[in-house]
Amino acid sequence: MRTVPHFINGVRVEESGDLNVFNPATGEVTARVPIPSPAFINNVVDVATKAADEWGQSTLSRRTNILFSLRQLLVEHTDELAALITSEHGKTLADAKGEIARGLENVEYACGLIEHLKGGFSDQVADGVDVHSTREPVGVVVAVTPFNFPIMVPLWMSANAIASGNVVILKPSERDPSVSIRLAELFEEAGLPHGVFNVLQGNATTVQALVEHPGVDAVSFVGSTPVARAVHESASRHHKRVQALGGAKNHMVVLPDADLDVAADAAINAGYGSAGERCMAISVVVTVGDVADPLIKKITERLDRLKVGPGDDPASDFGPLITKEHLDRVVSYVTSAPDDDITVVRDGTTLESREGFFVGPSLLDGVRPGTKAYDDEIFGPVLGVARVATFNDAIELVNRNPYGNGVAIFTRDGNAARLFSRHVHVGMIGVNVPIPVPISAYSFGGWKDSIFGDAHIYGPEGFAFYTRAKVVTTRWPQPPESQIDLGFPTTR
Ligand code: NAD
């Protein structure tokens, strides 16, 4: 049985495997992944700390060149990386390539690091006194990532962290860890010095050890809300800089004036794409006024045409779920829905049984607060429809939800869209766009229980998170000059 290695100080490090990695399309165990010992973790942090001293002093032009090379390598290796992602995650190859493209954007943004790391200068703030500011790396950054985007989320973090002069220890998801090793090798091939990007495999215990380790300076976490909350609390207790992005329950509000064909297409794409295993997936369609019945009709027409199958079959619209346990959990939301007076319009759990962790698309009508199918993040191909009477009811529903990652509105009314955008308590909003993941020049982040910590991820907030401000106040005395003055210095 193959074991997935760590990647430490520029080389693959093999250990015996402890946890199973599956091919979700067959249900077979394809590899084993190790859980490192505390001594091994200490050694990795030592390696990173040594590398941080040198990398933090590297020139900006050198970093830029390496990131440009990485960009090119990621483009050249897209097919190979996508196949690796599909084999462990299960998503379609097209979806895996989409993920790589969105990760690549972050590398491209980081290539502009000379601009992003520019400081300020104020001339003659007092007589003969100038002030300038710089941003310096924080040091050793731990990046903890979820299973659903095994290369994009590591790139969200590592591109900007490394561009800012930090060293990264990536702890990828134990469910689909292999692509992170290829990413590490491509970083090396691009010219990154040994030890600047390390991959440490493991599980929750590994994360906890890293978060508490005195040699770690900052923690970037993306995953589920309970873990994000716990990681944020623990890292804060250990005086780390921390950003922890959590789960979601994304609403798509459809107003009576919307183009219902456009809205139905969007609901299908964003609700069932990647089997619903996206943090920006639409999970609740909020129908306003009398929109529900005609929209449900259009959604079901489209849903009945979806093909569920292995991710490497070009005919598949979406692939299997990540594990058998997750499959059982997703199925339970559909089978228990009638207990909450929810109508199961389409039941995907009846999909012809076969090897692998497949489930078909389900559509639930009548989800509302207080029902399990509404309250929980299902993270599967289960789309709920909520019915509300008015535009204000829709805003209230969105705002009452504890999550605040993404939301979308479908309408032809610009003013309604504007009011909606201004009044919803959500970090990322789409107007006739169902998955509004911001481009890399804007930062990504939700509100409320979808994030713990102040900084959103990547883009300008990413550079701010991975750097510390330094301000230098300079005065060159002009001799002959001597002055004794014990008063507090002012510019007046
Ligand atoms: P998860 O929380 O189970 O795991 C995420 C990472 O945390 C993994 O590397 C895992 O090893 C580690 N981990 C798990 N339990 C831990 C614990 N108790 N203590 C410390 N570390 C622990 O999440 P997942 O199932 O891999 O990913 C799916 C979740 O991630 C969904 O909730 C999804 O919404 C969320 N997500 C959020 C975003 C976002 O940007 N907000 C993006 C992608 C995924």
As a three-state string, the secondary structure of 209-226 is: HHHHCCCCCEEEEECCHH
**250-431 architecture in CATH?**
3-Layer(aba) Sandwich (3.40)
Structure tokens at 8: 């430490």
Alpha carbon distance 176, 172 (integer Å): 8
Dump the DSSP string for 403-452.
EESEEEEE-S-HHHHHHHHHH---SEEEES-SS-PPPTTS-B--EETTEE
Q: Which residues pair with 284 in a beta bridge?
A: 251, 384
CB 239 within 8 A of CB 215: no
Structure tokens at 406: 């993404």
CB 176 within 8 A of CB 21: yes
Q: Is the bond preceding residue 480 a cis peptide, omega within 30 degrees?
A: yes
Ligand 1 atom nearest to CA at 174? 11
- Kindly give the distance from the C-alpha atom of residue 148 to the centroid of ligand 1, in angstroms, as a whole number: 9
Alpha carbon distance 457, 346 (integer Å): 36
Residue 281 Cβ inside 6 Å of ligand 1? The answer reads: no
Ligand 1 atom nearest to CA at 451? 41
Alpha carbon distance 200, 207 (integer Å): 10
Structure tokens at 22: 């599956």
Cα angle at 331 between 373 and 403, to 5 degrees?
35
What per-residue confidence (pLDDT) applies to 353?
65
- Kindly give the distance from the C-alpha atom of residue 462 to the centroid of ligand 1, in angstroms, as a whole number: 19
Ligand 1 atom nearest to CA at 245? 41
- Kindly give the distance from the C-alpha atom of residue 109 to the centroid of ligand 1, in angstroms, as a whole number: 25
- Kindly give the distance from the C-alpha atom of residue 245 to the centroid of ligand 1, in angstroms, as a whole number: 9
Residues near 220 by beta carbon (within 8 Å), at least 6 away in sequence: 141, 142, 143, 144, 157, 161, 242, 243, 457, 465
Amino acid 120 reads: G
Active site positions, annotated: 279
The runs of H, that is alpha helices, within 192-337 are 204-212, 225-237, 260-272, 292-303, 324-335
- Kindly give the distance from the C-alpha atom of residue 449 to the centroid of ligand 1, in angstroms, as a whole number: 13
Residue 274 Cβ inside 6 Å of ligand 1? The answer reads: no
Residues near 134 by beta carbon (within 8 Å), at least 6 away in sequence: 119, 469, 470, 472
Residues near 183 by beta carbon (within 8 Å), at least 6 away in sequence: 81, 151, 154, 155, 158, 197, 199
Task: Output the residue whose Cα is nearest ligand 1's atom 23.
Answer: 223
Ligand 1 atom nearest to CA at 172? 9
Ligand 1 atom nearest to CA at 226? 2
Residue 222 Cβ inside 6 Å of ligand 1? The answer reads: yes
pTM score above 0.85: yes
- pLDDT (tens place) for every residue of the chain, 492 residues total: 999 999 999 999 999 999 999 999 999 999 999 999 999 999 999 999 999 999 999 999 999 999 999 999 999 999 999 999 999 999 999 999 999 999 999 999 999 999 999 999 999 999 999 999 999 999 999 999 999 999 999 999 999 999 999 999 999 999 999 999 999 999 999 999 999 999 999 999 999 999 999 999 999 999 999 999 999 999 999 999 999 999 999 999 999 999 999 999 999 999 999 999 999 999 999 999 999 999 999 999 999 999 999 999 999 999 999 999 999 999 999 999 999 999 999 999 987 667 899 999 999 999 999 999 999 999 999 999 999 999 999 999 999 999 999 999 999 999 999 999 999 999 999 999 998 999 999 999 999 999 999 999 999 999 999 999 999 999 998 877 777 888 888 877
Residue 146 Cβ inside 6 Å of ligand 1? The answer reads: yes
Amino acid 416 reads: A
Q: Where in the chain is the domain with CATH 3.40.309.10?
A: 250-431
Q: How many CB atoms lie within 10 A of CB 309?
A: 18
Mutation choice for ligand 1 from 106, 279, 330, CB with most ligand atoms inside 8 A = 279
Task: Output the residue whose Cα is nearest ligand 1's atom 15.
Answer: 204
Regarding the domain with residue range 2-246+450-472, which homologous superfamily does it belong to in the CATH classification? Aldehyde Dehydrogenase; Chain A, domain 1 (3.40.605.10)
The runs of H, that is alpha helices, within 311-424 are 324-335, 372-375, 391-400, 414-423
Q: Where in the chain is the domain with CATH 3.40.605.10?
A: 2-246+450-472
What per-residue confidence (pLDDT) applies to 179?
98
Residue 223 Cβ inside 6 Å of ligand 1? The answer reads: yes
